[in-house]
């Protein structure tokens, strides 16, 4: 689960990770009040969306007066901000963050993330802050510092010092940096983060280190023990169909093709999308109803997919396993009747009682086509849309 | 022969009295698995059908000599259950539980380093040696005894592959789902090396998916150490980058973990690549 920069910075402050003074605003008037309250100009007006690259897209601007804040806030609120992370459709800006301007001496990069290969938290840092870190990693990998933290021991003093020295920080800033990194690690672990990224981390003219930006992603599987964090979720930043699907425990991702598909199990769902593409059609979504797949799950999935206007045909691919195919087929027929299917539906199922299941589909007077196997299903679904 | 489990494996089930635990315990029993004990804290002394239930794994091991555990507990208690089994001396731990927090799993992984045991999963379908022992939630009837070893990161996708193999007359020595989570116990290389050493396994199928670098590492291992033929498949070639596709592991960031990179690694290391899942059974038939 992602949160906004301003929310991340409020959490940082609670953990004594230094951040500039700032406040959020949802109207132009609030933006001006916030700027005035900061007690001096320049201030920075920052669009709050769940995507990086905001500066390049025109979502981060400097203002030297209340009038400039007003003009910028008017421009930004309601604008569609496009960055390399939003996709071509962009995001509508609904919130701003007004922050006190800083005298920047140096821009650095600092992040903490889960490293799957070593099963540790890894600290990544670089002197080349403020730019695209993936580019730095690709072109000058030697300029990326990596330190692995033993999850049972936690971060140690020598590791804090190592990162500080490798970043070539002035002596006067080292103590402040060690404290910042140590507190950031505490924040990461205490809140089950999967990523904390500060780009840039700045060194000010008076040798202070400070998080000028903040990107935080939490492990969704751990949210059960962080009820307070759930309040930070911003549904405006998520696809409404994906939000609805998540309330039924469906794993759904909206894509841009026209073949809706419903599959049990994430791996099989991905492979089914591949098969649709191989057959010359294009998937409208990823939909995993769960390995166990109950008839009720399939019904909810069906409804969500049929509400998607770009869907011209639906492929249902269920490897029944322990769920019996006759029970499943009855569920599909029920769901199809309730939702009023208007597009062709190809059903491929496998598992116990598959013959009875196919008979149930054939006996229904619905526009349902049975497929004998995956290859057959791919051909039939491609024929339905092409 | 087979790997990790056989008809002599004695299994206990953690979370045996829950819905899933009891359902799948019965499925495993009817397949022929020797389930000798169950564990549910506070329900020690009861029975689930004929299976005695204990309060702790340590009690269950002491009384029954169980050497493998099948875990169904809810995700908040998953890490605790794995460590309890390891501490009680269980040699093989199969964790079906989906949704264990990743920070819990990194601690578990460190903890297991000091124990003599193998963890399969979490978030996996389990392990089966056909017609001998099923420790997991896979449908038993699609499997057939034979000589192909199957290892996969997925659940239902594995069933699809196994089903096609069986329909082509290719039986399996052992099938293992290592799980879709970013941090898990047994990895591809552990399984591949065991298959290589197992005289009953004559060929292998490896089913991977986008995200991470486990498939690339396995491909390099195969080139260096595996003499038996391997067919490989990668799911998610058409998935858009940066989106999490259900499995926490299946996410591409930057250029690492893409389907293309994995296919390339397979081809360069002598693995037969199946590009169309609908044909994986036929392809194996042709090659093996």
pLDDT at A52: 82
pLDDT at B246: 53
B107, B163, B277 member nearest A151 (Cβ): B107
| Chain A nearest-CA residue for B136 | A322
Q: Locate tokens 């390339």: which residue?
A: B264
Question: For residues A19 and A10, what is the distance between their CA atoms, to the nearest angstrom?
Answer: 9
Q: Which residue has the higher pLDDT, A302 or B200?
A: B200
What's B101-135 look like in SS3? Answer: CHHHHHHHHHHHCCCCCEEECCCCCEEEECCCEEE
**Which active-site residues of A does the annotation give?**
109, 197
Question: Minimum mean pLDDT among A111-125, A205-219, B184-198: which range?
Answer: A111-125
Runs of H (alpha helix) within B77-225: 78-87, 102-112, 156-167, 188-197, 214-225
- Rg over CA atoms, chain A: 26
Residue tagged active-site, from B24, B143, B247, B272: B247
Contact A264 B249 (CB under 8 A): no
pLDDT at A56: 85
**pLDDT category of residue A345 using cuts at 50, 70 and 90:** very high
Cβ-count burial B181-218 (b if 16+ within 10 Å, e if not): bbbbbbbbbbbbebbbebeebbbbbbbbbbbbebbbeb
Contacts of B282 (CB under 8 A, 6+ apart): B164, B168
* Residue B241: how many other CB atoms lie within 10 Å: 12
The DSSP output letter for A141 is G
Q: Phi-psi category of A215—alpha, beta or left, where left has phi over 0 and alpha has psi -120 to 50? A: beta
pLDDT, one tens digit per residue, over A199-253 is 999 999 999 999 999 999 999 999 999 999 999 999 888 888 888 988 888 989 8
Question: For residues B171 and B193, what is the distance between their CA atoms, to the nearest angstrom?
Answer: 20
Contacting residues of A for B161, CB less than 8 Å apart: none
Q: Which residue has the higher pLDDT, A201 or B243?
A: A201
Question: For residues A203 and A185, what is the distance between their CA atoms, to the nearest angstrom?
Answer: 19
pLDDT, one tens digit per residue, over A264-300 is 888 999 999 999 999 999 999 999 988 666 777 888 8
**pLDDT category of residue B254 using cuts at 50, 70 and 90:** very low
**pLDDT category of residue B205 using cuts at 50, 70 and 90:** very high
In the A/B pair of chains, how many CB contacts fall below 8 A? 162
Contacting residues of B for A134, CB less than 8 Å apart: 254
Percent of chain B exceeding pLDDT 90 equals 84
pLDDT at B141: 92
A276, A322, A374 member nearest B27 (Cβ): A322
């Amino acid at each position: 689960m992602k949160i906004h920069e301003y929310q991340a910075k409020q959490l940082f402050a609670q953990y004594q990770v230094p951040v500039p003074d700032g406040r959020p605003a949802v109207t132009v008037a609030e933006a001006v009040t916030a700027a005035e309250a900061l007690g001096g100009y320049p201030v920075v007006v920052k669009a709050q969306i769940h995507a990086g690259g905001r500066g390049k897209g025109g979502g981060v601007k400097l203002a030297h007066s209340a009038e400039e804040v007003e003009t910028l806030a008017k421009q930004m609120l309601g604008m569609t901000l496009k960055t390399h992370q939003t996709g071509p459709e962009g995001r509508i800006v609904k919130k701003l963050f007004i922050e006190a301007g800083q005298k920047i001496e140096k821009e650095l990069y600092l992040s903490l993330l889960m490293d799957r290969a070593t099963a540790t938290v890894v600290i990544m840092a670089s002197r080349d802050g403020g730019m695209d870190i993936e580019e730095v990693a690709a072109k000058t990998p030697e300029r990326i510092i990596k330190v692995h933290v033993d999850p049972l021991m936690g971060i140690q003093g020598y590791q804090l010092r190592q990162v500080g020295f490798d970043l070539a920080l002035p002596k006067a800033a080292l103590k402040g940096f060690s404290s910042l990194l140590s507190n950031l690690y505490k924040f990461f672990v205490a809140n089950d983060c999967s990523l904390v990224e500060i780009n840039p981390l700045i060194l000010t003219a008076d040798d202070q280190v400070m998080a000028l930006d903040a990107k935080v992603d939490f492990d969704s599987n751990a949210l059960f023990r962080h009820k307070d964090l759930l309040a930070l979720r911003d549904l405006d930043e998520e696809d409404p169909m994906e939000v609805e699907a998540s309330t039924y425990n469906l794993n759904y991702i909206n894509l841009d093709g026209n073949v809706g598909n419903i599959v049990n199990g994430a791996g099989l769902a991905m492979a089914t999308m591949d098969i649709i593409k191989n057959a010359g059609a294009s998937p409208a979504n990823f939909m995993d109803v769960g390995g166990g797949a109950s008839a009720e799950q399939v019904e909810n999935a069906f409804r969500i997919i049929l509400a998607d206007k770009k869907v011209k045909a639906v492929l249902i691919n269920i490897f029944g396993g322990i769920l019996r195919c006759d029970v499943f087929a009855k569920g599909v027929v029920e769901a199809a009747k309730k939702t009023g299917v208007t597009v062709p539906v190809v059903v491929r199922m496998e598992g116990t009682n598959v013959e009875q299941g196919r008979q149930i589909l054939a006996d229904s007077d619905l526009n349902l086509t049975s497929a004998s196997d995956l290859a057959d299903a791919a051909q039939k679904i491609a024929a339905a849309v092409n | 022969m087979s790997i990790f489990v056989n008809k002599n494996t004695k299994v206990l089930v953690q979370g045996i009295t829950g819905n899933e635990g009891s359902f799948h315990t019965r499925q495993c029993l009817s397949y022929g698995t020797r389930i000798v004990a169950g564990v549910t804290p506070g329900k020690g002394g009861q029975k689930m059908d004929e299976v005695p239930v204990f309060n702790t794994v340590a009690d269950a091991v002491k009384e029954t000599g169980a050497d493998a555990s099948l875990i169904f507990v809810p995700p908040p208690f998953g890490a605790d259950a794995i460590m309890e089994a390891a501490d009680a001396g269980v040699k093989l731990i199969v964790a079906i539980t989906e949704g264990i927090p990743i920070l819990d799993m990194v601690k578990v992984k460190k903890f297991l380093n000091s124990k003599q045991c193998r963890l399969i999963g979490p978030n996996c379908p389990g392990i089966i040696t056909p017609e001998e022992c099923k420790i997991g939630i896979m449908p038993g009837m699609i499997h057939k005894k034979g000589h192909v070893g199957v290892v996969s990161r997925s659940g239902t996708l594995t069933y699809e592959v196994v089903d096609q193999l069986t329909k082509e007359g290719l039986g399996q020595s052992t099938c293992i789902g290592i799980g879709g989570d970013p941090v898990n116990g047994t990895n591809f290389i552990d399984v591949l090396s065991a298959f290589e050493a197992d005289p009953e396994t004559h060929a292998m199928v490896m089913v991977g998916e986008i995200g991470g670098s486990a498939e690339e590492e396995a491909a390099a291992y195969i080139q260096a150490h595996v003499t038996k033929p391997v067919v490989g498949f990668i799911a998610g070639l058409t998935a858009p980058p940066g989106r999490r596709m259900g499995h926490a592991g299946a996410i591409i960031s930057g250029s690492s973990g893409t389907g293309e990179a994995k296919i390339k690694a397979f081809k360069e290391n002598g693995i037969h690549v199946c590009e169309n899942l609908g044909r994986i059974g036929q392809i194996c038939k042709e090659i093996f």
